[in-house]
Amino acid sequence: MTQVYGRVALIGLGLIASSMCHAMRRAGLAGEIVGYARSEETRDIAGEIGLCDRICDSAAEAVEGADLVVLCVPVGAMGAVAAEIGPVLKPGATVSDVGSVKRTVIDAVAPHIPAGVHFIPAHPLAGTEHSGPRSGFAELFDNRFCIIVPVEGSDREAVDRVADLWRGIGSNVDEMDPDHHDLVLAVTSHTPHLIAYTMVGVADDLSRVTDSEVIKYSAAGFRDFTRIAASDPTMWRDVFLNNKEATLEILGRFTEELFALQRAIRQGDGDHLFDYFTHTRAIRRSIVEAGQDTDAPDFGRNTAPSK
């Protein structure tokens, strides 16, 4: 793979940024990778593990002379970071981000991008429940999708270059408009996370009654919920605050379906339950066939990277 950008600056050095670092290095996509994180602790760890070629003490210093700047902070922090770096961006540079919500990030960041700098939002659809600079690994994005969300007037060449970077990182690339992205993600990621958080909360209430039985006898279904519900609280708070409408819309539909299943159970309507579960099983099969998950038992837990 050939170099796509000369200097890349990563603002925020958590799971996504550190995985990007490893993947960009694996494929030689950047001439130099410069990083900045808010806390001294994270900057020190990043320096210690040699995550980037250079760690800076401010976001403004990190973006100086960068050809690509990627904002890898929680969705709610994107606007403030953009305001800080806006005045020092190199003319002709591209600013991108990896935020899990697109409409509010675009609204918060775009006003701070000066004329002559491209803003090309993106969202890699890959993650784990771990955070921080040590949690990244080069394979995180392999064969997963990265959605690029061009804004009005986005320069085609700049969009294609960001797409080239993500392909080099290992992803398949698609384009969407921001509102469609936010609705799709509310279905495939945001609402399922909320349901996992709720289920673990319910079990926690119950565990006060049954002592530690919920943990002792936790079966695969519940364990998968706890893994999802262990995800970073700041990131997920920001996702729900920023994808409010789409999440509420999907939650409304979820509640209706749940009531229908509740009624079927109460009325002993086995046919309804059987048909419903047959249909959902087919959806699982199509996800595996599309190469977006493994068909190994136990959700491939034993074959997943141990990061």
**Which residue from 79, 127, 150, 168 is in contact with ligand NAP, where contact means CB under 6 A?**
127
**Residue 225 main-chain phi, psi, to 5 deg:** -60, -45
Residue with smaller CB distance to ligand NAP, 74 or 150: 74
| Number of residues written out for the chain | 307
Site stretch for ligand NAP (CB under 6 A), options 120-128, 144-152, 274-282, 296-304: 120-128
Site stretch for ligand NAP (CB under 6 A), options 94-102, 152-160, 202-210, 286-294: 94-102
CB-based contact 14:131 (threshold 8 Å) = yes
104 binds ligand NAP (CB under 6 A): no
**Which residue from 5, 29, 34, 42 is in contact with ligand NAP, where contact means CB under 6 A?**
42
Q: Outline where 211-243 has alpha helix (H).
A: 213-216, 220-228, 233-242
Q: What gap in Å lies between CA 294 and CA 289, rounded to an integer?
A: 9
Site stretch for ligand NAP (CB under 6 A), options 69-77, 260-268, 289-297, 298-306: 69-77
**Residue 32 main-chain phi, psi, to 5 deg:** -145, 140
**Residue 178 main-chain phi, psi, to 5 deg:** -60, -45
Residue 292 beta carbon to ligand NAP: minimum distance, rounded to whole angstroms: 14
* Cβ count near 60 (within 10 Å): 15
Indicate the residue type of 143: N
100 binds ligand NAP (CB under 6 A): yes
Site stretch for ligand NAP (CB under 6 A), options 20-28, 35-43, 142-150, 289-297: 35-43
Q: What gap in Å lies between CA 243 and CA 185, rounded to an integer?
A: 9
Residue with smaller CB distance to ligand NAP, 226 or 234: 234
Residue numbers at the binding site for ligand NAP (CB under 6 A): 12-17, 37-39, 42, 72-75, 77, 81, 98-100, 123-124, 127, 131-132, 232, 234-235
